[in-house]
Every structure is written in C-alpha cells, then in structure tokens.
Amino acid sequence: MNKAIALALFVLCGEAIGQAQVPGRYFPLDHRQVPGVASRWNALTRPGAFGQPQPVQIHLPEKGTVSFYHGSPQRVVETQAPSQVGLFVGYTYRIKLSGLESHPGVELYPTLEVIDRLHPPEGLAERFPIPVEITAEELEAALQDRMITKVIYLEQPDVARPVESTGFLPVEELSPRENLMAAADHRGRPVAIFRLGGRIPDPQAPADEFYSQSPIQFSTATVPAE
C-alpha cells in the first residue's frame, strides 16, 4: 500500500482519468482554502470517517525532532524522525520541526490536515501509515518565507504508474496556478494536506491560536526524541 501512495505537488496533466473530476469544470475544493475545509467536507459527506484513527509517518531529510502538541501548547511530545503517530481524520495538526543538523537553531511549524484514512488489512494499520516526506529543498524554501503545500493522495490502482517504487514517494510539482485538490482527486483519493511556511509562534503569547488542540494517539511505533 505504501507504494500506492503518491504525493501531488503541481503540474496537471490533461488526461481524463478521474471518474468524478473532469478538467475544465469548477471544482469546489482548493488547497488554498482555509485549513480544515477539505477535511470538514469529507466528514460532512461521510460522517463515519470523521474521528477515525490514521497513523501518519513524517520523514525529514536528515536527523531531527518532530514535536506534536497534544491538546495544548504546553503538552509537547517530542519524537525522533521518522516519526509515526496516530492522528484522526477531520483534524488539523500543528507540528514543530527542530534539531535539524544542517539548520541548527531553526524551527519550522507546518500543519497537517488529515482528510481521509487508508484501509489496510485488519490489524496492520501501523504498518501502513500515510507517509509525509519533507525534502531539503522544501525546508530551504520555507526558510525563505515561501509556502509549500502538498496534497497526499492514494492513487487509483487502474491509473497507477506501471513502475516499481524506489523507496521514495513520487512527487509531481504543479504550477501554483493549479488546484492541487482537483489534481489529486483526478489521480486518486486525497488523504492529507501538508502546509509548510516560515511563521513561528509568538513568544509573548505562548497559548495563541497558532497551536492546534487536536488529539493524538501514540503507539509503540512512536520513537521519543533522544
């Protein structure tokens, strides 16, 4: 299943693959919308999906720490990358990336919006998390106050690329003019949106709205930070 997950980041090919998404038509969802809208739509459309646990694994290009805020800014749980935790469908999470070897002292605060879940075999959910791979180029772009948005989707088996996965998730870079949600829906089923920028929390307001209060589930796959 890992091989079947792809990252969509830009450039839309014009093939009419999707069954519901048709190029040229208005698509109501957009990756530029307020964080939480897409997951909310999915939960409203399919109420049974909301609140379902979904393991997510976050990869960094180097050794680093991935911190999660569990319920409040004061309840920080630091984990070692690659970090795997259980998130919940319908929620948006603020994450902290720090301890990067090539960027000492740098902290980044991306968010992850969990739109939908995967359907692994019973009892194997921990083996098939949603992978979120952050590259060195994306870290550099965020440090230059650029915004990176990645829509992670589960590709349709009948339109999957007939190539063997090399261990890295295939990434497509699309023009910023494109609608990533439409492109991901065109290729498969979007499951998460990852947004990364250069904003940091206000040190004078440690409990501001910057942090998420979404619940998190930890398991044996979660590796605490050293």
Cβ distance 33 to 115 under 8 Å? no
| Cα 39 to Cα 36: distance, rounded to the nearest angstrom | 5
- Pick the stretch among 57-65, 106-114, 127-135, 163-171 that binds another protein (CB under 8 A): 106-114
Q: Is 123 in the site for another protein (CB under 8 A)?
A: no
Cα–Cα distance for residue pair 18/15, rounded to 1 Å: 9
- Is residue 52 part of the contact set for another protein (CB under 8 A)? yes
For the bound state, the minimum distance from the C-beta of residue 51 to another protein, rounded and expressed in Å, comes to 4
Q: Which of 146, 149, 154 is nearest to 134 (CA)?
A: 149
Tell me which of 39, 57, 79, 83 binds another protein, using CB under 8 A.
39
Among 56, 60, 79, 88, binds another protein (CB under 8 A): 88
- Per rule CB under 8 A, is residue 73 in the interface with another protein? no
Cα–Cα distance between 74 and 43 in angstroms, integer?
A: 29
Q: Is 199 near another protein (CB under 8 A)? A: yes
Dihedral (CA of 23, 157, 150, 126) sign: positive
Site for another protein (CB under 8 A): which residue of 14, 20, 163, 166? 20
Please tell me the distance from the alpha carbon of residue 140 to that of residue 34, in angstroms, as a whole number.
24
Residue 19 near another protein by CB under 8 A: yes
- Does position 224 interact with another protein (CB under 8 A)? The reply is no
Candidates 56-64, 128-136, 140-148, 163-171; binding stretch for another protein (CB under 8 A): 140-148
What's at 178, amino acid-wise? E
156 near another protein, judged by CB under 8 A: yes
Q: Specify whether the CB–CB gap between 54 and 85 falls below 8 A.
A: no
Q: Is 32 in the site for another protein (CB under 8 A)?
A: yes
